[in-house]
Amino acid sequence: RKEVEQDPGPFNVPEGATVAFNCTYSNSASQSFFWYRQDCRKEPKLLMSVYSSGNEDGRFTAQLNRASQYISLLIRDSKLSDSATYLCVVNPTGGYQKVTFGIGTKLQVIP
Amino acid sequence: NAGVTQTPKFRVLKTGQSMTLLCAQDMNHEYMYWYRQDPGMGLRLIHYSVGEGTTAKGEVPDGYNVSRLKKQNFLLGLESAAPSQTSVYFCASSSRPLGGTFTNTGELFFGEGSRLTVL
């Protein structure tokens, strides 16, 4: 089993829709979790951290489910500008310097 | 407002040629990283540095060398390029070490990437 698994998509959704992605991780000792956003042919940028209690930033909500070992990202009221690939990033061992990236989930918001 | 700058942005090499990718950051970050990104795979860590004069191996270090002679620069070298090294290379920096807990982990700031093709 891969350390971090994501559905590569693409998820094609109409503007204004709500869409959710999941990311599963294999190591129960994982300590920290993040979502990065990567636009086409651009560099990844941090979107948000995923806290145990969940966190929200505007239209974006991130959740952590330790029991089932997955994190999720919910995007409400999708905008065309949300079209990108969303990378799940996990620190699998709690150690330093080596985090694991998922392959990313591609979102295409359609007018 | 440069952040992390990579040069060159694009390069085509022949098998066996050598080259160096330069990464420069102006944020005074201690930690710097080189990743490669290939289709269908997540970013993979090649080498990293926890400060000036230090380097360490990541997940896929074979065929690459690095140097961090100055705090702001992190160089990635390919001594004898192979087609398997065709990839997009990203440099990143962080003010704090990655990992640990939420309260102390660093955020990665990436350069724009360098697209390398080895024929």
- CB–CB contact A97 B40 (8 Å): no
Instruction: Give me the mean pLDDT over the B1-18 stretch.
Output: 95
Q: Is the pLDDT of residue B104 over 70?
A: no
Q: Is the pLDDT of residue B22 over 80?
A: yes
Q: Smallest CA–CA separation between A88 and chain B, in Å? A: 9
Q: What is the spatial distance between Cα A109 and Cα A97, in angstroms, rounded to a whole number?
A: 34
Q: What is the pLDDT of residues A79-100, one digit of tens each?
A: 999 999 999 999 866 556 778 9
Q: What is the pLDDT of residues A34-70, one digit of tens each?
A: 999 999 999 999 999 887 888 999 999 999 999 999 9
B20, containing H or E segment: strand B19-25
CB-closest option in B31, B107, B111 to A43: B111
List the one residue out of B34, B2, B38 whose CA is nearest residue B21. Answer: B34
Q: Is the pLDDT of residue B99 over 80?
A: no
C-alpha angle B42/A55/A90, rounded to 5°? 25
Higher-scoring residue by pLDDT: A100, B12: B12
Q: Smallest CA–CA separation between B117 and chain A, in Å? A: 15
- CB–CB contact B98 A99 (8 Å): yes
Q: What is the pLDDT of residues A3-44, one digit of tens each?
A: 899 999 999 999 999 999 999 999 888 878 999 999 999 999
Q: What is the DSSP letter of B84?
A: G
Three-class DSSP category at A35? strand
Yes or no: say if A3 and A101 are a contact pair by the CB < 8 Å rule: no
Under the banding of pLDDT at 50, 70 and 90, the label for residue B96 is: confident
Q: What is the spatial distance between Cα A24 and Cα A102, in angstroms, rounded to a whole number?
A: 9
Distances in whole angstroms, Cα of residue A95 to Cα of each of A5, A20, A42, B60, B104: 20, 29, 28, 18, 12
Q: Which amino acid is at A111?
A: P
Chain B residue with the nearest C-alpha to that of A35 = B107
Q: Is the peptide bond before A10 cis (omega within 30 degrees of 0)?
A: yes
Q: What residues have CB less than 8 Å from B117, skipping those under 6 apart?
A: B11, B12, B13, B86
> Taking CB atoms and an 8 Å cutoff, what residues of chain A touch B90?
43-44
Q: What is the DSSP letter of A82?
A: G
Identify the pLDDT of residue B116.
98
The count of CB pairs under 8 A between chains A and B is 70
The two three-digit tokens of residue B109, written as one number: 């700031």
The two three-digit tokens of residue A100, written as one number: 């694991």
> Taking CB atoms and an 8 Å cutoff, what residues of chain B touch A101?
35, 42-44
- CB–CB contact A91 B99 (8 Å): yes
Those residues of chain A whose CB sits closer than 8 Å to some CB in chain B are 4, 8, 31-32, 36, 41-46, 49, 51, 87, 91, 93-104
Distances in whole angstroms, Cα of residue B31 to Cα of each of B2, B47, B57, B66: 17, 11, 13, 14
CB-closest option in A4, A36, A98 to B99: A98
Q: What is the spatial distance between Cα A103 and Cα A87, in angstroms, rounded to a whole number?
A: 7
The two three-digit tokens of residue A16, written as one number: 């204004």
